[in-house]
Amino acid sequence: MVTTTNKSYYLIVKRMFVTFSLLFLIASTYAQSKKNIDSLSVIERDFQFQLFENRYFDIPSLINHENIYKYTYGEGRFLYSEGSLRHPQDYKKQNGVYLETASLADLKNTNWTLYGSLEYLNTRKEDVENNLTYGVKDYGSPYYFFQQTSGLWNHQNYNFKVAGANKVNSKLTLGAYLNYDTNFYFRKNDTRNELTALKILGKLSASYQFNDKHLFSVVLSNEFYKANSELSNKFPENNTELTADYYLNTGLGSYIKNLDRGFDTKRSVPEVQLQWFLTQDNWDLSIESDTKFGRERWIDKNIFKVEENDERTRYSFIDQEFTIFYNRYKANSLFSLNLNAAYLKGDGKVWDETSTVYAKNFTTTSYSLATGATLLFYNSFLNKVSLGVNYYNKEQFDLNYAYTFDYQYLEPQVTVGFNKVISKKAALFADVSSTYHYVLDVEHDPFAANNIFVDWIGNKIADYTGISTIDYSLKLGTDLRLRNKNSIELSISAGYLKVTELSKNSPNFYSKNDDYLNLTTGLKLHF
């Protein structure tokens, strides 16, 4: 059962959601003076949406860039997934619905370009094992509640995004962005933890056009995140004393035991982004730097006395990314290339009541390199060919137990898209992809071999992390042209994850027969 406070908050968010919906519908009635998305196939539209999200949307003052297609759509999807080949801290089965509406449009007779979107997700996640703060972890943080029983999550998400860009003059464009993202995680039959999470991300940006070729942008932003956990000792089934205990994980083997109330989690992430954009006659290039400095705190609700420290843990990190995009345009094709390099370093500290200091007990470092190339062939049966590869390396260390957990993998990917026009009003499409997750190395050294964390969680995570897999994805559907350049897209998507090589860790919790299946049916209206 959700607490009274959460119910009130839930009602407020619902009212905000309705209000924002009305504002969105009003904004979407303005005329679009630039390119429309209706001339593209589904394969081409999906690619342009992804390019907009990855290249322009992070910088609000670029949402009026001349390369961007204007669009308005509404979408609904039904989600289903099930299988045992899943991370131990994730769900083994999910079903639910996802709704979204979004619009990018010029404001008539002004220099404004506006973007707005609303998203709603309602899912039921089953067989989440030890994790009692599902959905909270991010940026490499080790902190979460755990317990030796699996459970069921009911998850609701309300996500509102709005952005605007104003061309002040021929040189300067200013932009702003706000993301208001609310999540409710609760259990109808098991009240061990009810979680309300709020993330607010705000951005201010400026883009300056030095000449016809060179554009420079800068973004200042901050992400504020707060999660409120409500632990409860009500259990509908009989549990032993051990399985009924709460623990706060503070590392790879470190934890805080004997908790009977929840914590408040607060995270602040300031961010600085810089981008240089070069435009030529038939190609363009952008280089972007994205730097984040963040701090996360877990605050104990049990502590009321002023002289006591209520901050039980602290986690700080730096997250640095470099991204390059290159596009070459031809009359009937587009070649797009992207490169990304990322580095994250984080340190965790726990309050030591005896020494009255924060003792450093956890470190993590991760690196990733990714590249992808896409060829779009407009108005062609072979509509898209994409190739990509991703390398990832993560190192973790628990200072309390000298417990190391490092791994690295390589992921090549290939995607092919097809579009078959069957009449002036209808077309069939198919998007087929395959990703091979190849584990290069896993180093799992549980020095704290008798630690309950290692017995329950660490060994199983190490076994899963060491598995090489192949993931097949397929999206099939039809695109129907309606009146007034509107269209409706009907699709079904499937993903199948299969073991190719088991982990060399022992014991093995997974087998060669384990797999995971995702199914999605959707309807998308462009208007």
Answer yes or no: CATH 2.40.170 is held by domain 4-299+309-526: yes
Question: Listing from the earlier edge strand, what are the strands of the sheet with 247-249?
Answer: 144-146, 247-249, 255-257
Tokens of 361: 């007990």
Q: What is the pLDDT of residues 242-280, one digit of tens each?
A: 566 788 999 988 898 888 778 999 999 999 999 999 999
Which of 10-19, 345-354, 470-479 has the highest average model confidence (pLDDT)? 470-479
Contacts of 461 (CB under 8 A, 6+ apart): 87, 88, 89, 405
What does the DSSP assignment read for 370-423? EEEEEEEETTSSEEEEEEEEEEEEEEEEETTTTEEEEEEEEEEEEEEEEEEE-S
What does the DSSP assignment read for 126-157? EEE-SBSSTT---TT---EEE-SS-EEEEEEE
Determine the pLDDT at residue 448: 62
Determine the pLDDT at residue 30: 38
Mean pLDDT of the chain: 88
Write the secondary structure of 272-325 as one string of H (helix), E (strand) and C (coil). Answer: EEEEEEEECCCEEEEEEEEEEEEEEEEEECCCCCCCCCCEEEEEEEEEEEEEEE
Nearest-10 Cα torsion for 276, 278, 284, 290: 0
Determine the pLDDT at residue 402: 84
Determine the Cα angle at 112 with ends 111 and 117, to 5°: 165
Amino acid letter for position 84: S
Is the torsion defined by CA of 248, 251, 252, 256 positive or negative? negative
Nearest Cα to Cα of residue 311 among 356, 258, 254 = 356
Is the torsion defined by CA of 124, 181, 319, 413 positive or negative? positive
Is a pLDDT exceeding 80 seen at residue 10? no
Tokens of 345: 């370093």
* Confidence band of 135 (pLDDT split at 50, 70, 90): confident
Q: Do residues 453 and 253 lie in contact, with contact meaning Cβ atoms separated by under 8 Å?
A: yes
Tokens of 511: 């087998």
Determine the pLDDT at residue 150: 75
Task: Give the C-alpha separation, 182 to 1, whole Å.
Answer: 18
Q: Do residues 229 and 265 lie in contact, with contact meaning Cβ atoms separated by under 8 Å?
A: yes
* Confidence band of 449 (pLDDT split at 50, 70, 90): low
CA 163 to chain CA centroid, Å, is 19
Is a pLDDT exceeding 60 seen at residue 356? yes
DSSP summary character for residue 448: -
Determine the pLDDT at residue 253: 87
Amino acid letter for position 488: I
Q: Do residues 83 and 92 lie in contact, with contact meaning Cβ atoms separated by under 8 Å?
A: yes
Q: What is the pLDDT of residues 167-180, one digit of tens each?
A: 999 999 999 999 99
Going from N- to C-terminal start, the domains of the chain cover: 4-299+309-526
Determine the pLDDT at residue 37: 77
Greater model confidence, 247 or 507: 247
Is a pLDDT exceeding 90 seen at residue 52? yes
pTM for this prediction: 0.88
DSSP summary character for residue 121: E
Question: CB neighbours (10 Å) of residue 250?
Answer: 24
Determine the pLDDT at residue 209: 96
Find out whether the peptide bond into 412 is cis, omega within 30 degrees of 0.
Answer: no
The strand ranges marked E within 168-259 are 172-186, 193-209, 214-231, 247-249, 255-257
Task: Give the C-alpha separation, 113 to 50, whole Å.
Answer: 19
Is a pLDDT exceeding 60 seen at residue 14? no
Nearest Cα to Cα of residue 178 among 385, 16, 68, 413 = 16
Nearest Cα to Cα of residue 244 among 172, 149, 354 = 149
